[in-house]
Amino acid sequence: MTLIHTGGCQCGAVRYRAEGELGFPHLCHCRMCQKAAGNYFMSFGGAMRENFSLTRGEPAWFHSSETVKRGFCAECGTPLFYDGGAGHISITLGSLDDPQAVKPAMQTNLAHKMSWFGKLDTLQHEAGMDMTADEETVIRASTRQHPDHDTDQWPPQVSEGKP
């Protein structure tokens, strides 16, 4: 049985499919990835080009260096791909419909890793800051985020102000 990974951006304008195992699943701490993600690292896994396809829309591309371009959704800004020109395309693991399915196996560019990452589990947790069930219900009822699965149509048809 062939492993299938699907995913896409937050708004659903760009969707993709990758067949087979995603190779070299890793966290990259380089400064370019930090800037591209607006976060402390990016997570990637590589799909062979012949096993990768776009199933909806087209990403926009930014050439972050002479040899690398980064694909993202022009509508919502979600970072989706890292393309270094090799025989594979790297997919951001957080854009997978099932991000739990691919566990990073290594880290790269540790010179830029945040020095305090080892202490994350010791950070205080404020239970009162977690969403309540009622808040989650309100958000779920009004979300514009694409669901974590392929859809025939997105956004859904709206009639008389109701989905």
pLDDT at 125 over 70: yes
pTM value is: 0.87
In a domain, 73, yes or no: yes
Mean pLDDT of 16-41: 97
The Cα–Cα gap between 47 and 51 comes to 7
State the CATH number of the domain containing residue 95: 2.170.150.70
pLDDT at 160 over 50: no
Report, in this order, helix, strand and coil percent for the chain, each rounded to 5.
25, 30, 45
Mean pLDDT of 11-23: 97
Structure tokens at 83: 């393309």
In a domain, 89, yes or no: yes
The Cα–Cα gap between 107 and 30 comes to 10
Q: Note the pLDDT tens digit of each residue in 43-70.
A: 999 999 999 999 999 999 999 999 999 9
Residue carrying structure tokens 């989650």: 136
Mean pLDDT of 20-26: 97
In a domain, 76, yes or no: yes
Task: Give the pLDDT score at 93.
Answer: 98
Task: Give the pLDDT score at 2.
Answer: 86
Write out the residue range of the structural domain in which residue 119 sits.
4-142
Domain count, the chain: 1
Contact 71, 77 (CB under 8 A): no
In a domain, 162, yes or no: no
The Cα–Cα gap between 29 and 27 comes to 6
The Cα–Cα gap between 153 and 101 comes to 25
**Element (DSSP H or E) covering residue 140:** helix 133-142
In a domain, 153, yes or no: no
